[in-house]
Amino acid sequence: MGLIELRPGGRPEPDPEAAVYTDWESVYQDNVVGIYQLAFRRVGNAADAEDVAEEVLIRTLHTLRFPAAVHNVRAYLVKTARSVLADHWRRHYAAQNAVVELEQVPAPGLAGPPNSVASERAQRMLALLPDQFRRVLELRFLRGYSVREVANEMGVSEANARVLQFRALRKAATLEQEVLR
């Protein structure tokens, strides 16, 4: 049985301002899913999200002194996540100024229902795209079409479908920054 099993069920958090973490396990348990989700929204795959989440937690936990106020820890986690994600893009894709504009995370918790943030943002962003762009991204990402299927559906060549996808994503990136603001 792991340590977590021994923890009492409810974490008492009567006053959010006064709540503190006293050990790394509670920081982990409270925040790992939220950090993972936040990372996933920026890397888009499970393997990288896992690595990023671990790195964020380890960097944060190395510098924490317990007891630590919950709201401070959460703010620090988000700040650390921003820097780990920027490193990720720089190291793996040579992206110098990878915009890691992390959305502000509301204080009560870092985790949301699955996909709520990502899908809400995606919907808002898709709605703003020109028809062709929206169509290619919807088919590819939300409906799981292959490039070939997208090409067939839209009556273009596969090479054109890839170009369309690229342009749509670039447009989406600029829109996303507006949406996030």
Partner 1 sequence: MKDSAADRVAQFVEDLLKGRRPRRFSATPEEAEAMSAAAGLAAARVGSDLPDKAALERIHRRLSERLDDSPAVDGRYSRRAWLRTVGTAAAAVVVGVAIDEAVTRRGSSAPTATEAEVLTPDGGQWRPVAALEQLPPGQAMTVSTAAMDVVVVNDGGQISAVSGICTHLGCKLQPDNADKRLACPCHQTAFSWTGKLLYYRLKSAPPDLPRIQSRVNNGQIELFV
Task: List binders of partner 1 among 5-64 (CB under 8 A).
Answer: 5, 24, 28-30, 32-34, 36-37, 40-50, 53-54, 57-58, 61-62
Report the C-alpha gap between 157 and 150 in whole angstroms.
9
What minimum distance in Å lies between the beta carbon of 163 and partner 1? 4
CA atoms within 13 A on the CB side of 176: 19
Single out the residue of 13, 108, 170, 178 in contact with partner 1 (rule: CB under 8 A). Answer: 170
Give the count of beta carbons closer than 10 Å to the beta carbon of residue 49.
Answer: 19
Residue in 8, 14, 106, 113 binding partner 1, rule: CB under 8 A: 113
128 binds partner 1 (CB under 8 A): no
- For partner 1, the closer of residues 79 and 90 by Cβ is 90
- CA-CA distances (angstroms) from residue 115 to 41, 112, 166? 9, 8, 23
How many residues bind to partner 1 according to rule CB under 8 A?
Answer: 73
Number of residues in the chain? 181
**Sole window of 12-20, 70-78, 116-124 interacting with partner 1 (rule: CB under 8 A):** 116-124
Residue 111 zone, left/alpha/beta (φ > 0; ψ -120 to 50; rest): beta
Q: Is 97 an interacting residue with respect to partner 1 (CB under 8 A)?
A: yes
